[in-house]
Amino acid sequence: MTGEAGAVAATRKPRHRRAAAGSRMTAGRAVALHAGVIALLFVLQFVLPAYHHGVLARVMVLAVFAMGYNLLFGYAGLLSLGHAMFFAAGLYGAGLSVYHLGWSVPAAFAGGILAGLVLSTLIGLLALRTTGVAFMIVTMMFAQVFYLTTLYFNVWTGGDQGIVVPQPLRSVTAFGGTLDLTDPATRYFAALGLFTLVLAAMLALVRSPHGRVLVAIRENEQRTTMLGYDTFANKLAAVAVSGAVCAAAGAAYALLFGYVGSSFASVQYSILPLLWVLLGGAATTLGPLVGTLFMYYLIDISNDLLAAWAPGWNFSSLGIVGIALILLILFFPKGLLGTVRERWLTWLP
Amino acid sequence: MAAVTPLLETSVLSRSFGGLRAVDAVNFSLESGEIRAIIGPNGAGKTTFVSLVCGRIPPTSGAIRFAGEDITMLPAHRRVRRGIAYTFQITSVYANLTAFDNVALAVQRRLLDEPQEKASRPALAAATMDALERLGLAERADTIAGTLSYGHQRLLEVAMGLALKPRLLILDEPTQGLSDGEIDNFIGLVRDMARDSTVLLIEHNMPVVMALAGRITVFDAGRILAEGAPEVIRADPAVQQAYLGTAAT
């Protein structure tokens, strides 16, 4: 044993010193990379044509949704099929309080997040009594209840037609000036601000002791309990924070894009964040952005291709999207950034 | 027996699985600083007993006291924080994490409870490497645990228990799958650990038991069959019968 160990030690740099110094170095690289991504998004706003400018603002808000989902699915390993309800809780919480109650934009935004936080804590308390497939079913069931509730109260929610929040309600008056959130540049900055905040928080969280415990729970929950961690409390916190982040995305969506409808509470919006996270790379901090962006343009370009090459055939673009996704899973089984991390950049957070 | 409070004490502790009384009214007492071995034939209830002690399964009836306090209703993770560490019979490490990260998770839990030390990264790394070095795994710190040999995974599991700096370390068949050379190292290591912790050892390998244990408790069919010094147990006819089987009826 010692002879073998000696041979390995000779061919390998001692980890002792790297363990402490190394973590500081990768932290520097990770922070630089994330700052670079934010800077790039900031600069793009001045160079992008109007259409792509609008797409990117929307993608950043949806990427926040995906980041919230990623915290629970990617890091804590809990596969929820009901996250549409948390996004929709934020969407309705903010949208309805602006529309019906005349709340200011900041108050409505906070109200939307609070609605998501309360809902996710309650759902967590109930759903975390189950694991695995049962957890998927229970979360999906609760989300369906939420969806049907939005339809049932169509007097206030507008049902599946939804409501359009008029422009005058979507402006912030502060410091003697007025910010109109319907203005594309303001909207882009608001989306970028939210995205930056959540990305930084996620990076800090997954590198914190709490983040490491979530990964430990994902990898081996029984072992984690026997190391003295309260796995239920950690999972509940993850569900609550994940729900609040998704609600922040929903609230921002209502206030920035002005549409509040029950389609956002439908099962499709529970599947989409899963898809975005899987595409970008589960348990990577930037994967949700990459996945959301990729999926958005994949559908967009597929539609363009069909319109250009098969006009009048009435094909669905989903055929092209499906083939692209199959190829992606073949060559990037852990998602785009997940596979990049596995093969090349092992320090990627 | 001294009049001091035992570190661990169970009174009429029982656990049934359906009709099977896996642990049957066991009164067990363990003094601080001991190395105690639990032996017994397969299915005697040894693992069930220590699982009750560390809280992985709830008892059907009876009580468990640790350091003078009743812990019968305490969930497993709280018992770990009071100082009961358990290493699994079937190796249970984080297979996808490095050996370093495996041990760091144990160290982190301990540091979180010690505010003056703070869970600073250098303190975490130093304590983690210290535990790995004691088990001869320092060179494998950044190896993914699942790719380690079985013997090394067993040692990694012990390193995680050690890193918790427990008052009571429960080792469930730790030498299973180790080579003879590794077993010799391991015996020295347990003696070393016993200076800081009380050790409760389930073991089938008799030379290991005889070399380490101050006292031996023999389980059979969910009950304590005998208890005493190694040489007494070795000579006990009831123990020999339990191991070699009874004559056909």
Minimum Cα–Cα distance from A229: chain B residue: B77
pLDDT attached to residue A346: 83
- Average pLDDT score over chain A: 89
Give me the percent of chain A exceeding a pLDDT of 70: 92
Q: Is the CB of A224 inside 8 Å of chain B's CB atoms? A: yes
| A77-90 pLDDT per residue, tens | 999 999 999 999 99
Instruction: Count Cβ–Cβ pairs < 8 Å, chain A vs chain B.
Output: 95
Domain range for residue B106?
A: 94-165
| Sequence-ordered list of residues with C-beta below 8 angstroms from that of B4, at least 6 positions apart, any chain | B31, B32
Q: Is the CB of A12 inside 8 Å of chain B's CB atoms? A: yes
Contact A219 B96 (CB under 8 A): yes
- Out of B76, B96, B141, closest to residue A15 by CB: B141
Q: Please name every residue paired with B228 in a beta bridge, in sequence order, or none if there are none.
A: B216
CB A84 within 8 A of CB A270: yes
Q: Is the CB of A213 inside 8 Å of chain B's CB atoms? A: yes
Q: Which two tokens stand for residue B232?
A: 């007494």
Q: Which region holds residue A311: left if phi is over 0, alpha if psi is between -120 and 50, else beta?
A: beta
DSSP letter for each residue of A108-159: HHHHHHHHHHHHHHHHHHHHTTS-HHHHHHHHHHHHHHHHHHHHHTHHHH-T
Q: Where are the beta strands (DSSP E) in B1-66?
A: 8-17, 20-30, 35-39, 61-66
Q: In A, which residues are within 8 Å of B167 by CB distance?
A: none
Q: In B, which residues are within 8 Å of A212 by CB distance?
A: 101, 104-105, 108
- Out of B97, B129, B181, closest to residue A16 by CB: B129
**Rounded to an integer, what distance in angstroms lies between the CA atom of residue A293 and that of residue A184?**
18
pLDDT attached to residue A7: 41
- Out of B81, B95, B101, closest to residue A228 by CB: B81
Query: Is the per-residue pLDDT at A271 higher than 70?
Result: yes
pTM of the complete model:
0.89
pLDDT attached to residue A12: 41
Return the minimum-mean-pLDDT range out of A240-254, A256-270, B130-144, B173-187.
Answer: B173-187
**Rounded to an integer, what distance in angstroms lies between the CA atom of residue B83 and that of residue B167?**
5
Query: Is the per-residue pLDDT at B201 higher than 60?
Result: yes
pLDDT attached to residue B116: 64
**Rounded to an integer, what distance in angstroms lies between the CA atom of residue A95 and that of residue A205?**
29
A interface mutation test: which of B94, B102, B182 has the most A CBs within 10 A?
B94
| B101-116 pLDDT per residue, tens | 999 999 999 888 877 6
Would you place residue B118 in the very low, low, confident or very high pLDDT band (cuts 50, 70, 90)?
A: low
Nearest Cα of chain B lies from the Cα of A200 at a distance, in angstroms, of: 20
Is residue B178 a part of any domain in this protein?
no
**Rounded to an integer, what distance in angstroms lies between the CA atom of residue B59 and that of residue B21?**
11
Total of domains in chain B: 1
Mean per-residue pLDDT, B13-41: 93
Query: Is the per-residue pLDDT at A20 higher than 50?
Result: no
**Rounded to an integer, what distance in angstroms lies between the CA atom of residue B192 and that of residue B182?**
15
Nearest Cα of chain B lies from the Cα of A63 at a distance, in angstroms, of: 27
The helix or strand, by DSSP H or E, that contains position A170, with its residue range, turns out to be: none
CB A242 within 8 A of CB A72: yes
Secondary structure of residue A163 in the 3-state scheme: strand
Listed by start position, the domains of chain A span: 49-275
Would you place residue A13 in the very low, low, confident or very high pLDDT band (cuts 50, 70, 90)?
A: very low
pLDDT attached to residue A315: 73
Q: In A, which residues are within 8 Å of B118 by CB distance?
A: none
Contact B136 A1 (CB under 8 A): yes
| Sequence-ordered list of residues with C-beta below 8 angstroms from that of A178, at least 6 positions apart, any chain | A171, A172
φ, ψ for residue B194, nearest 5 deg = -65, -15
**Rounded to an integer, what distance in angstroms lies between the CA atom of residue A335 and that of residue A7?**
36
Minimum Cα–Cα distance from A232: chain B residue: B77
Q: In A, which residues are within 8 Å of B85 by CB distance?
A: 226
Q: In A, which residues are within 8 Å of B105 by CB distance?
A: 212-213, 216, 224, 227
| A112-132 pLDDT per residue, tens | 999 999 999 999 999 999 999
| A318-331 pLDDT per residue, tens | 788 888 888 888 88
CA distances from A302 to A144, A289, A310, A317, A319 (A): 30, 20, 11, 5, 9
Which amino acid is present at B196? D
pLDDT attached to residue A278: 94
CB A253 within 8 A of CB A61: yes
Query: Is the per-residue pLDDT at A11 higher than 50?
Result: no
DSSP letter for each residue of A232-296: HHHHHHHHHHHHHHHHHHHHHHHHHH-EE-GGGGSTHHHHHHHHHHHHH-TT-SSHHHHHHHHHH
Contact A1 B185 (CB under 8 A): yes
Mean per-residue pLDDT, B218-236: 91
Secondary structure of residue A173 in the 3-state scheme: strand
Minimum Cα–Cα distance from A227: chain B residue: B106
Contact B121 A15 (CB under 8 A): no
- Out of B77, B139, B185, closest to residue A225 by CB: B77
**Rounded to an integer, what distance in angstroms lies between the CA atom of residue A193 and that of residue A181?**
13
Highest averaged pLDDT of the listed ranges A93-107, A155-169, A332-346: A93-107
Contact A226 B80 (CB under 8 A): yes
**Rounded to an integer, what distance in angstroms lies between the CA atom of residue A59 and that of residue A296?**
8
Would you place residue A2 in the very low, low, confident or very high pLDDT band (cuts 50, 70, 90)?
A: very low
Contact A220 B136 (CB under 8 A): no
Residue B64 has a CB neighbour count (10 Å cut-off) of: 23
Is residue B12 a part of any domain in this protein?
no
Mean per-residue pLDDT, B134-145: 92
Is residue B101 a part of any domain in this protein?
yes
Would you place residue A14 in the very low, low, confident or very high pLDDT band (cuts 50, 70, 90)?
A: very low
